[in-house]
Amino acid sequence: MKTSTPLRRSATGVPPFLLVLGAVVSVQFGQAFGKQLFSAAGPLGVAALRLSLAAAVLLVLWRPQIPPGWRSRGLIIAFGAAIAAMNVVYLALPHLPVGVASTLQMLGPLSVALLASRRPRDVLWAALATLGVLLFCGPIGAPLPAIGVALALVSAAGMGCYLLLSHRVGSLSSDGSPLALAVACAAVIALPFGIVESGTALLSPAVLLAGLGIAVLSAVVPYSLEMAALRRIPPRVVGVLQSLEPAVGAAAGLLLLSELLAPSQVVALGCVTAASIGAVLTRAR
């Protein structure tokens, strides 16, 4: 009798909701550390290092084989493209605080949850999310740089696609092989842009070491924890827990970068977080 499920049941018995919370904390603090490296490698360079080194670690760890069939391969490539799009948030971070960028990112999963249901009550969550956006960058709140908002919304679209595809990709294998291949695809997309921006700075031992730490903290650990959790709990539950990312991102920005949010931005963060939690919970019911 096969017992291939212990890893899926836990990383040694850890409840799945703790895996998701661990992923949330890891990715947000990893992003804040990545922002600290911009002066040495630039946003594109940091994103390229993050994905390339994460891919290297995951490929060594899982030693995946290319799956048979174009359907499975296409799914992995699409998942890799979604991961690459999520990393556009690094281009937004020079213009936005980490907490603001993370909040705008959550509009992707929130849109997925709202579009999956046409119940009248979802209008409330859409209105709450819209209020949050207006408090951030509309006539109600202080204006944000348009380029930063646009880049964060591209990342949000990638995050929405990531959530839609992650459960299907996780079902391709009981281990992390599909994830390793998808991150490698994302690295292939991002690396040329990083080389163009940063050149030989990416080969500096100090930058490589810092990049490896960021890759592990913001990619290897959270992606692996999320994939393990998604094999055991529905995506809607993961979506509720991921709704905490803006708050954790704001905390990471404050602790590591001394980024203070304006009162209206704090209220906006709360609106988007509440809308995301409410949309996923009411859909679950």
pLDDT tens column, 244-282: 888 899 999 999 999 998 888 888 888 888 887 777 676
Among 248, 214, 260, 220, smallest CA distance to 36 is for 214
pLDDT tens column, 71-83: 889 999 999 999 9
Question: Which pLDDT value is given to residue 140?
Answer: 65
Residue 8 above 80 pLDDT? no
The residues, ordered by sequence, that sit 6+ positions from 14 with a Cβ below 8 Å of its Cβ are none
The residues, ordered by sequence, that sit 6+ positions from 66 with a Cβ below 8 Å of its Cβ are 73, 181
Spatial contact of 217 and 29, defined as CB atoms under 8 Å apart: yes
Percent of the chain scored above 90 by pLDDT? 45
Residue 49 above 50 pLDDT? yes
Output the DSSP codes for 230-260: HTTS-HHHHHHHHTTHHHHHHHHHHHHH--P
Residue 4 above 60 pLDDT? no
Spatial contact of 27 and 106, defined as CB atoms under 8 Å apart: no
pLDDT tens column, 122-165: 778 778 888 887 787 766 666 789 999 999 999 999 988 988 88
